[in-house]
């Protein structure tokens, strides 16, 4: 085939591919490529609830999404293979982790089956006929989405929702809902290999909350201006009768919000917005605060959420509730009874004098705010921060200089070598060793590990009674939080008398093996 024929073939393939980017009228079987992503798993659940036969495949199958899919009876095939598309599905949903060279993507082109992106499927199957409430921003989307859905549930609105984590109150991260509102977490990441625009542009927001605009996703965005351009497009599509809820503590967001053609309700903890907070106090596991609107006290709240970032998230949800006309009594009840989200300061274990927390933090700001929040909740206890730099941005050196300032409040820091580092060009790779060196220069007790197994051995050796161990990663982290908890708790069960254990409150766990009654 000469070059002109090759070019014609490529153009024809591209043309046919575009024609197949559609949803047929008659659908029975839907296959999801990349089904274990949080959004894809929730879409799978909604499709199953709607009566479709749902199958899926993924390279990484691990909790909590694998457990969720198993619990609702969805078959997940491990690994991407051409045979996963046999029998041929009526529709294939292509996750944004899928590349053009993925074996299933290649097979999809060969069998010429209709396909859509995840956001396209959301628009058709979940958002049609609903009032879309999009929760977006660099940080806090999952907690804010979960709390928004819970508030609407407590108000009897029977909302639909799709969230990038599992709200503990619901036990699932999706619900079709019979009410008029649908809460969806709006991600600025790209849509699919055939659509490089941000996902949230497909969600047609009526109300949109933006928590922050910061540089992230260095694999697809050049700089902060590039990120902000996506949020600017999102703000521009909110209709005139809609609402933008914007965190004016974030300077870039405040700048972008002025272009909105809808009502803008600004909020912030620095009195930068119409809505603010005062009298924040945390004691006995609960946070109390006063919501202020236009300089006047609006509502007193008590919540199990802690940390300033979560107070800010909660404030945005109160703004939402006010716009929807919900009563103060309903808002107080919802905030008080909200139990949080899995992997967002999630309590994994709190026994035998050791508290283990699992969190999704991976951006320098999120790491800093999460550590500050946990320290405020447990001020008198030693805090061990275990951080895995796993995200596409974290594995690049774009934030190398920022991370050393993100661990204030930690008493001990442990950092492994990032996974999949070989996929990053050596010139732009993140260095865990360098971060540990920088932390030590700043006076921190910090350690580097070649892998998570070495880290687990060291952590088990260094952990003491009274410690709070905070794990942070946007991935499974080799199930380290639960492996550590299981290892430590099994050792501690050998010591039956709690008063005896308390008397050894500063004894390293490993040394207990030699202690006898």
pLDDT in tens, 368-413: 999 999 999 999 999 999 999 999 899 999 999 999 999 999 999 9
Structural Rg of the chain based on CA atoms: 24
Domain 18-118 has CATH 3.40.50.720: yes
pLDDT (mean) for 137-145: 96
Q: What is the DSSP letter of 82?
A: G
The pLDDT tens digits of the residues spanning 79-118 come to: 999 999 999 999 999 999 999 999 999 999 999 999 999 9
Residue-level pLDDT at 492:
62
CATH superfamily of 126-337: Mur-like, catalytic domain (3.40.1190.10)
| DSSP run (H or E) holding 316 | helix 308-323
pLDDT of the residue at 4: 43
Map out the domains of the chain as residue ranges.
Answer: 18-118, 126-337, 346-514
* Cα 309 to Cα 366: distance, rounded to the nearest angstrom: 9
Strand boundaries in 17-74, DSSP class E = 29-33, 53-58
What does the pLDDT read at residue 71?
A: 87
40-49, 237-246, 442-451: least confident range:
40-49
Residue 491: the pLDDT is 66
Sign of CA dihedral 323, 319, 46, 178: negative
Q: Which two tokens stand for residue 34?
A: 């990349």
Residue of 88, 48, 216, 202 whose CA lies nearest to 140? 216
pLDDT at 504 over 70: no
Q: What is the pLDDT of residue 60?
A: 77
340 vs 314: CA distance, rounded Å: 11
Assign 501 a pLDDT band (cuts: 50, 70, 90). Answer: very low
For all residues of the chain together, what is the average pLDDT? 90
The long-range contacts involving 55-58, CB below 8 angstroms and separated by at least 24 positions, are 55/29, 55/30, 55/31, 55/84, 55/89, 56/31, 56/32, 57/31, 57/32, 57/33, 57/81, 57/84, 57/104, 58/34
Identify the weakest region by mean pLDDT among 176-185, 263-272, 367-376: 263-272
CATH number of 346-514: 3.90.190.20
Give per-residue pLDDT as tens, 195-212.
Answer: 999 999 999 999 999 999
Reading the block at residue 362, the tokens are 């991976």
> Virtual CA dihedral for 326, 330, 334, 336, nearest 10 degrees?
140
Tell me the C-alpha distance between 76 and 57, whole Å. Answer: 5
pLDDT in tens, 278-298: 999 998 889 999 999 999 999
Residue 76 has pLDDT above 60, yes or no: yes
């Amino acid at each position: 085939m000469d070059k002109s024929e090759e070019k014609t073939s490529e153009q024809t393939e591209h043309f046919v591919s575009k024609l197949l980017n559609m949803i047929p009228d008659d659908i029975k079987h839907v296959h999801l490529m990349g089904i274990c992503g949080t959004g894809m798993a929730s879409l799978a659940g909604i499709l199953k609830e709607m009566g479709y036969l749902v199958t899926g495949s993924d390279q990484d199958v691990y909790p909590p999404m694998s457990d969720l899919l198993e619990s609702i009876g969805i078959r997940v095939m491990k690994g991407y293979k051409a045979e996963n598309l046999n029998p041929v599905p009526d529709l294939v949903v292509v996750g944004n982790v899928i590349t053009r060279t993925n074996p299933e993507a290649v097979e999809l082109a060969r069998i010429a089956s209709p396909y859509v992106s995840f956001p396209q499927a959301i628009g058709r199957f979940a958002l049609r006929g609903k009032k879309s409430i999009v929760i977006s921003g660099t940080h806090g989307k999952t907690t804010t989405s979960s709390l928004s859905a819970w508030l609407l549930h407590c108000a009897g609105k029977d909302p639909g929702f799709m969230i990038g984590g599992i709200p503990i109150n619901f036990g699932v991260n999706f619900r079709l809902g019979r009410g008029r509102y649908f809460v969806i977490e709006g991600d600025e990441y790209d849509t699919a290999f055939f659509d490089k625009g941000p996902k949230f542009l497909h969600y047609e927001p009526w109300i949109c909350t933006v928590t922050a605009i910061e540089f992230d996703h260095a694999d697809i965005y050049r700089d902060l201006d590039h990120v902000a351009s996506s949020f600017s497009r999102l703000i521009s599509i909110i209709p005139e009768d809609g609402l933008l809820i914007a965190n004016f503590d974030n300077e870039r967001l405040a700048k972008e919000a002025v272009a909105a053609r809808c009502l803008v309700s600004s909020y912030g903890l620095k009195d930068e917005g119409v809505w603010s907070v005062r009298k924040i106090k945390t004691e006995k596991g609960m946070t109390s605060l006063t919501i202020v609107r236009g300089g006047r006290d609006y509502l007193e709240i008590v919540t199990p959420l802690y940390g300033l970032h979560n107070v800010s998230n909660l404030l945005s949800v109160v703004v939402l509730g006010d716009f929807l006309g919900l009563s103060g009594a309903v808002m107080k009840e919802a905030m008080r009874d909200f139990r949080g989200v899995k992997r967002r300061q999630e309590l994994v274990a709190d026994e035998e004098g050791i508290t283990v927390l699992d969190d999704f933090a991976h951006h320098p700001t999120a790491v800093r705010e999460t550590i500050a929040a946990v320290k405020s909740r447990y001020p008198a206890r030693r805090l061990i921060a275990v951080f895995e730099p796993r995200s596409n941005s974290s594995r690049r050196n774009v934030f190398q200089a920022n991370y050393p300032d993100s661990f204030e409040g930690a008493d001990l820091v442990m950092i492994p070598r990032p996974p999949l580092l070989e996929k990053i060009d050596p010139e732009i790779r993140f260095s865990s060793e360098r971060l540990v060196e920088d932390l030590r220069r700043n006076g921190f007790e910090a350690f580097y590990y070649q892998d998570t197994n070495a880290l687990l051995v060291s952590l088990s050796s260094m952990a003491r009674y009274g410690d709070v161990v905070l794990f942070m990663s946007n991935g499974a982290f080799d199930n380290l939080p639960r492996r550590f908890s299981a290892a430590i708790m099994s050792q501690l069960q050998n010591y039956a008398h709690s008063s005896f254990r308390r008397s050894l409150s500063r004894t390293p766990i490993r040394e207990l093996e030699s202690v006898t009654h």
